[in-house]
Structure 1
Amino acid sequence: MAQIRAVLCGYYGKGNGGDEALLATLLQMLPKTVTPIVLSGNCSETRQRYGVQVGDRMSALRVFQALQRSDVFIWGGGSLIQDTTSAISPLYYAGLMGMAQRLGLKTIAWAQGIGPLNRNFTRKIAKAAFTGCDAVSVRDRGSAQLLAEWQIPNVIAPDPVWALAGKPPKGVGDLPAPRVAICLRPHPQLTPERLNTLIQALKLFQTATDTFLLLLPFQAASDLTIAQQIHSQIPDHSKIVSLTDPRELKGVFEGIEMAIAMRYHALIMAAGAKSQCFALSYDPKVSQLMAEYEIPGWELSQLPEAASDIAQTWIERYANPSAFDKTQLQAIIDRAKIHQELLHSVLS
């Protein structure tokens, strides 16, 4: 069978563990007949890590050339179409989708988490881009409902990272146990006062449980500073673990007892490893994940003011484990593979 050339477009090569996990999963799920060309912010790193053809995502010429010599264009998962962080982001991704459609490529919006879309013009652009797609899959009910309002056919399935194959990172298994993963990120709602309260709560929690804290910066450029602040307060019982391979990042969670996380994909990776989870939500996608999978946690805006209250809640969660059993987890993974079935139905 002839090879199909597909351009993969996402927030790749930007040092974000969640988006790299989506790319790794997409590559894992593509039919063998597909030759991927990945648009990346770090072409050499992406080429070396995955062994794929690459193109500079910010070079209009390189992107156009990649599209010209390809058959398929794929939005590769995640919150690409939202205007909370920037109004430019949906313009970029919708612009590439529109260009691909005008060039006659098959187009797929894969594993999308749509929104928030707070501006009328971004909603119109998004609607037009999705309307022109040959196939659409989404990862949450909110996105599916929005597409239903726009009368755009779609399939819904759990985030594909549930099905990502992990591998154990070197050295982590030698760290003291039991281990608890901490994954925080900057956000306006994580004020200096709230961060200090969380750090004090982590100190109380670590002392009470005698656990070792793995501090995981999912995006080093932004998360590392917070990890360093925590480590400076708990230097003998914590370690910053910086990993760039998303398969190793997922593998970390195989060896932990509990995760306390803001990052969406950190919670998925932890739950997928049958670990205890506790969420600190800064975004509707995290809140939706908490509701759908009954993950306990707080909205950051409703964080208790007393560090002792936070710590006590974490201690109780740690002492009374409640995670997915093998059957429940396999059911989620099987449903996540619906994203793979969509790819095969269009591309095989």
Structure 2
Amino acid sequence: MGKMRAVLCGYYGKGNGGDEALLASLLQMLPSHVTPVVLSGNPKQTRNRYKVESCDRMAPAQIWQALRRADVLIWGGGSLMQDATSAASPFYYGGLMGLAQQLGLKTVAWAQGVGPLQRHLTRAIAQRVFAGCSAVSVRDRASAALLLNWQIPCWLAPDPVWALDAIPVKGLWDLPAPRVAVTLRSHPQLTPARLDSLTRALVNFQKATQTCILLVPFQKSQDLAIAQSIQSQMSDASHIISLEDPRQLKGLFRGVEMAIGMRLHSLIMAAAEECRCFALSYDPKVSQLMAELEMPGWDLDRIPDDPNLICQSWLECYANGDALSPARIQSLVDRSLIHRDLLHQALSEGLGDRG
């Protein structure tokens, strides 16, 4: 079989551990006859980390050249087509997909989380570009329901990061045990008062459990300052662990007893490595994961004001909570490979097939 060139677009090279995990999962699942070219916010870093071709995601000339030399554009994964955090996202990805489709490239929407789409225009853009795709896979039922309402067929499977290969973190086992990982991110609903309550609860939780607290920024620009703020108030063992390789991020949770997390992929990684999890939801995608896995937690705007109540909930999860069973984890991993099957099916049909 001849070689096929695929341009990969997503929120890559922007320092977000979850999006990097999606890219690593996509590269892991690509058929061997496909040569990837990654649109990245940091092309040099992407080339060095993944040993792939990469170009600047915001450089029109480079994007144009990459598309003209490609056979397919793969758009994924994650919450790319949404206007909750930025109205610009649907225009960027919609424009890119529309250009690729006009050039006659095959377009594949992979492992998508669709929405929220609160504006009529962004919904119209989303509907049009999804309708023009050769194949679509989504990672949650709400996204599938929206596309089916638009009469766009799609494959539904758990997030592909369930199947991401994990690698060990050097020095992790030298840190005191037991360990609890905490991943918080900046958000309007994580007010200074709520962060103070969570921090005081974490201090009390550590005193009660004698655990080593690992503060894990998934995106330094949004998470590191919060981690530093929390650590400044911890009197016992705590460490800020910043990891660039998403496979190491997942591997970190192999050495952790419990995870307290806001970020979706921190919870997926932790659950996949048999950690007990407690979620703090800032987004429907996190709430959906909580419901699907029966994971304890709160929406951010419903966090108790009393740090003692927060601490008691965490102690209950730590002492009596259940991690996912190995059988259920394996089921989620196996079903997430549906995203791989979609790629193999969509990319096995004729090379250079410009419609």
Moved more, 226-235 or 107-116: 226-235
Q: Which residue in 2 is equivalent to 1:294?
A: 294
Q: Which residue in 2 is equivalent to 1:81?
A: 81
Q: CA deviation at 1:235?
A: 4.8
SS of structure 2 residue aligned to 1:267: helix
Q: Which residue in 1 is equivalent to 2:179?
A: 179
Question: What percentage of residue pairs aligned between the two structures are identical?
Answer: 64
Task: Give the distance between the partners of 1:334 and 1:102, measured in 2 at CA.
Answer: 35
Q: Which residue in 2 is equivalent to 1:142?
A: 142
Task: Give the distance between the partners of 2:251 and 2:328, measured in 1 at CA.
Answer: 20
Q: Which residue in 1 is equivalent to 2:352?
A: none
Q: CA deviation at 1:71?
A: 0.2
Task: Give the distance between the partners of 2:170 and 2:32, measured in 1 at CA.
Answer: 29
Q: Which residue in 2 is equivalent to 1:190?
A: 190
Q: How does 1:1-348 map to 2 (within 5 A)?
A: 1-348=1-348
Q: CA deviation at 1:222?
A: 1.0
SS of structure 1 residue aligned to 2:236: helix
SS of structure 1 residue aligned to 2:229: helix
Task: Give the distance between the partners of 1:63 and 1:169, measured in 2 at CA.
Answer: 35
Task: Give the distance between the partners of 1:281 and 1:89, measured in 2 at CA.
Answer: 22
SS of structure 1 residue aligned to 2:206: helix
Q: How big is each residue's C-alpha offset from its partner over 1:307-348, in whole Å with a ceiling of 9 and x where there is no partner?
A: 000001100110013111111110110000000000000112
* Aligned residue identity for 2:168: P
Task: Give the distance between the partners of 1:55 and 1:94, measured in 2 at CA.
Answer: 19
Q: CA deviation at 1:172?
A: 1.5
Q: CA deviation at 1:86?
A: 1.1
Task: Give the distance between the partners of 1:87 and 1:207, measured in 2 at CA.
Answer: 44
* Aligned residue identity for 1:96: L
- Give the alignment's Cα RMSD to 1 decimal: 0.6
Moved more, 278-287 or 321-330: 321-330
Task: Give the distance between the partners of 2:275 and 2:212, measured in 1 at CA.
Answer: 15
Q: How big is each residue's C-alpha offset from its partner over 1:53-84, in whole Å with a ceiling of 9 and x where there is no partner?
A: 00100000100100000000001200000001
* Aligned residue identity for 1:148: L
Gaps of 5+ in 2: 349-355
Q: How big is each residue's C-alpha offset from its partner over 1:263-292, in whole Å with a ceiling of 9 and x where there is no partner?
A: 000000000001000000000110011001
Q: CA deviation at 1:104?
A: 0.6
* Aligned residue identity for 1:340: R
Structure 1 outlier segments of 4+, above 2 Å: none
Q: Which residue in 1 is equivalent to 2:353?
A: none
* Aligned residue identity for 2:242: S
Task: Give the distance between the partners of 1:178 and 1:20, measured in 2 at CA.
Answer: 28
* Aligned residue identity for 1:197: S
Task: Give the distance between the partners of 2:87 and 2:344, measured in 1 at CA.
Answer: 33
Task: Give the distance between the partners of 1:280 and 1:24, measured in 2 at CA.
Answer: 25
* Aligned residue identity for 1:111: A
Task: Give the distance between the partners of 1:97 and 1:235, measured in 2 at CA.
Answer: 51
Q: How big is each residue's C-alpha offset from its partner over 1:76-108, in whole Å with a ceiling of 9 and x where there is no partner?
A: 200000001111111000100000101111100
SS of structure 2 residue aligned to 1:236: coil
Q: CA deviation at 1:26?
A: 0.2
Q: CA deviation at 1:197?
A: 0.2
* Aligned residue identity for 1:88: A
* Aligned residue identity for 1:237: A
SS of structure 1 residue aligned to 2:232: helix
Moved more, 157-166 or 229-238: 229-238
Moved more, 64-73 or 317-326: 317-326
SS of structure 2 residue aligned to 1:80: coil
Q: CA deviation at 1:142?
A: 0.5
Gaps of 5+ in 1: none
Q: How big is each residue's C-alpha offset from its partner over 1:26-77, in whole Å with a ceiling of 9 and x where there is no partner?
A: 0000000000000000011000000000010000010010000000000120
SS of structure 2 residue aligned to 1:74: strand
SS of structure 2 residue aligned to 1:21: helix
Q: CA deviation at 1:236?
A: 3.4
TM-score, normalized by length of structure 1? Answer: 0.99
Equivalent residues, number: 348
SS of structure 2 residue aligned to 1:304: coil
Task: Give the distance between the partners of 1:249 and 1:209, measured in 2 at CA.
Answer: 24
